[in-house]
Structure 1
Amino acid sequence: MPAPVRVAVVGAGGIAKACHLPALRSMAAAVEVVAVCDVDLEAARRMADDWTIPRYFTDLDQLLADQTPDLVIVSTPPSVHREPVIAALNAGAWVWCEKPPVLSLAEYDEIARHERAGGPYVSYVFQHRFGSAAQRLRELVANGALGRPLVALCNTLWYRPPGYFEVPWRGRWDTEGGGPTMGHGIHQIDLLLSLLGDWTEMVATAATLDRETETEDVSFAIVKFASGAIASVTNSLLSPREVSSLRFDFTHATVELEHVYGYHNANWRWTPSATADVAEASTWTPVEDESGSHQAQLRRLLDSYHRGERPAASGADGRRVLEFVAGLYQSAFEGRTVRRADLDSSNPFYRSMAGESPAEFADLLKPTKGDDHAQLRRPVRS
């Protein structure tokens, strides 16, 4: 059995306590948590005490020099992903970084230049693709057992009260990179893309209907895939009955998932078509029942680490969902169809999810009030 992987946690906030540290504790034989780092000394000290972590730091460079971790988990707010990820890679450590990966495609590509063949690599937290049912569905899509993908629905309908946005970094382009599309729906979108592959074009709209935020609080997109499939994608923070749902219609089956923040096999429904092989359909549901969790992704990340192979949700595989979000925002801002091929380095939405004019985009998202209905403003393009 290989020696335990030495792990450092950067960011002593809620996501580390709720998700990362429990996942690490569940794999105590495979990992050793050697240190925690946070700019808030007391927060770092409390986490070290509460989770029996031997050392705590406020300076990441010092932690990296003193502890030489094998893996660094970055669980800071989105605007504080880039620097610690690059620092850890440059120190030779693999990285597991919370979503959204970074604030732009440009930042993502900059980080990728600090990776090296065989590692270190950085993988991003998209845990929903790692549950048993999602893994089984991916196999069935790949081997053609379900037929061609035709129609998909992807909904993240969550609720965040007005007070949620009182946290200074939330709801701002420069610190969060977007609204529910970027920070919440990105999980379901990644799961959608991991199953259906590359998208080719989309048309979208977004608006700030009710919350005090410069980003959107709701977005919609119609998306075409290279396979020929068409999907609708909805993201909202205004929905009192919360649900995360996906539906896939293949030529031989409909596969549905409904949950909120995590799933097991019971959250999935498999419905064969009238022409499907019933005997084969009985094998579609996986025997193993693993949730789409941080623990599931961490276990696979450690396997990749020991093999020296690029992990899932990394490189081009991790970048695809950021391309999707950038394309959605550009389509919503410019009121036109956007192709995935448009998102090269010359595109302003490559450098920022709000393009060149975050203030103009923020103003556009707020509907004007007419006598009978609200209308979204569109920028005038010469």
Structure 2
Amino acid sequence: MSGERSGRRARVAIVGAGAIAAHSHMPALAAQAHRAEVVAAVDTDPARVREFCAGHGVPAGYTSLEEMLAAERPDIVHVCTPPFLHAQQVVACLEAGAWVWCEKPLCLSLAEFDAISAAEGDGGPYCAVVFQHRFGSGARHLRDLAACGALGRPLVAVCSTTWFRAPEYFAVPWRGRWDTEGGGPAMGHGIHQMDLMLSVLGEWREVRAMAGRLDRDTEAEDVSMALVRFENGAMASVVNSLLSPREESYLRFDFAEATVELRHLYGYRNADWSSTSPLWSPGEDVPSSHAAQLGAVLDAYEKGVRPPVGGADARATLELVAGLYAAALTGAPVRRAELTPDHPFYPRMNGGLSL
């Protein structure tokens, strides 16, 4: 099967014809045009899907996901819809035999994540999450150095997503609500930096946190702060904010032998990294981008293996968000091992509680 796949282009469908599809997914697919062709797009707005197809040369447009899956039988589906639609749409695609690459957050709870996992097959179809910051050359180089012990034992980390979203940003009905976005900046914004942190430091053990609604008219938080302990003993501080006029995404890793830092906003290049280590040399400058991750997704599809940032790897990041919210809303430390199906924060990110 893998040889069969590598000999032809994958048939790709786009679900959700909005800005993220147009400005991130389509350019990434254009860069992989020798391996993938976009055969269809889906959006519930007929005018928008017509405009999207005309603007990007997509041959077929649909307003029904089920109709598209039956008619086109795509190999891979890119899900670019609002978060509350993800779980149902991803399961429908998997059950139709299509692999899925879904925008973050993949779903609104650990329960939904496990339902998605149950719809995957042995050897595919699989689902992966868009966490493009793992795939730039700087992050890959850091993981390589950390894995071989060249930087010494990991000790301390700082993970900050301090962004700004004006009040009108939340006029979109699904934003800032537990039942449609799954939370505030921890779930919808800082999750990118937290995922990159986890990819370097590995399994987390315990989280303590606070969250608040300080200035925006939302149901979920607009600021959260957390302390995380990892299985290897390292500790990290995490800040997620949508109230910060000087926006920045910042990561700092203090190892026994070196410090590595990353300062950027929505994406990085090699120049955004710095280190005290003489071994720091990321090589080819590969930006963090949808294009970088899509290459890895297509590699996995052609080989018939699970793509990066899927399965247990993706679940760990969602578990950290669930643990952060559980700690913040209950005021008690949360251990990762506690987040079992009988835990109140397993079926919903707010555990039925309010800020």
Pairwise TM-score range, normalised by the shorter structure: over 0.9
**Counterpart Cα distance in 1 of 2:208 and 2:119:** 34
Q: Work out the CA distance in 2 between the residues paired with 1:340 and 1:83.
A: 26
In structure 1, what is the Cα distance between the partners aligned to 2:88 and 2:52? 22
Residue 312 of structure 2 corresponds to residue 316 of structure 1? yes
Match of 2:217 in 1: 212
Partner of 2:350: 354
> 2:298 maps to what in 1?
302
- Of residues 78, 87, 92 in structure 2, which corresponds to 1:87? 92
Aligned 8 A contact 1:253 1:271 in 2: yes
| 2:327 corresponds to | 331
Matched, 1:107 2:112: yes
1:356 shift after superposition = 2.1
1:7 aligns with 2:12: yes
The residue that corresponds to 1:340 in the other structure is 336
Larger Rg: 1
Unaligned runs of 5+ in 1: 273-280, 365-382
Q: Residue by residue, what CA displacement relative to the aligned partner does 1:208-265 show, whole Å, maximum 9, x if unpaired?
A: 0000000000000011000100000000000000000000000110000000000000
Q: How far did residue 83 of structure 1 move? A: 1.3
Q: 2:24 aligns with which of 15, 19, 24?
A: 19
SS in 1 for 2:276: strand
Q: Secondary structure at the match of 2:299?
A: helix
The structure 2 residue matched to 1:290, chosen from 282, 286, 292, is 286
Is 1:60 aligned with 2:65? yes
How far residue 334 of structure 1 moved from its aligned partner, in angstroms, is 0.7
How much does 1:29 deviate?
1.2
Measured against aligned partners, the alpha-carbon deviations of 1:8-67 in whole angstroms (never above 9, x if no partner) come to 000011111111111111211111100000111111111000001000001111111111
Q: Aligned AA for 1:311?
A: P
State which of 256, 259, 281 in structure 1 corresponds to 2:261.
256
* Residue 370 of structure 1: aligned partner: none
Q: Which amino acid aligns with 2:289?
A: S
Which residue, 198, 204, 226 being the options, matches 1:199?
204
| Number of aligned positions between the proteins | 350
**Is 1:270 the counterpart of 2:266 in the alignment?**
no
Instruction: Report if aligned partners of 1:270, 1:285 keep a CA contact under 8 Å in 2.
Output: no
Question: Where does residue 368 of structure 1 map in the other structure?
Answer: none
**Equivalent position SS for 1:349:** coil
User: What's the CA shift string for 1:75-119, capped at 9, x where partnerless?
Assistant: 000001011111110111100000001000000000100101111
Per-residue deviation at 1:2?
A: 2.1
From 137, 155, 171, the equivalent of 1:166 is 171
Q: Structure 2 length normalisation: TM-score?
A: 0.98
Task: Work out which of the residue numbers 170, 195, 198 in structure 2 matches 1:190.
Answer: 195
Q: What is residue 373 of structure 1 aligned with on the other side?
A: none
Larger relative contact order (C-alpha < 8 A, sep ≥ 6)? 2
1:96-175 alignment runs, 5 A limit: 96-175=101-180
Identify which of 36, 45, 56 aligns with 1:40.
45
Give the residue type in structure 1 aligned to 2:255: F
Return the letter of the residue paired with 1:330.
Answer: A
Identify unmatched segments of 5+ residues in structure 2: 1-5
Distance 1:79 1:42 in 2: 22
Q: Distance in 2 between matches of 1:285 and 1:126?
A: 23
TM-score, structure 1 length as denominator? 0.91
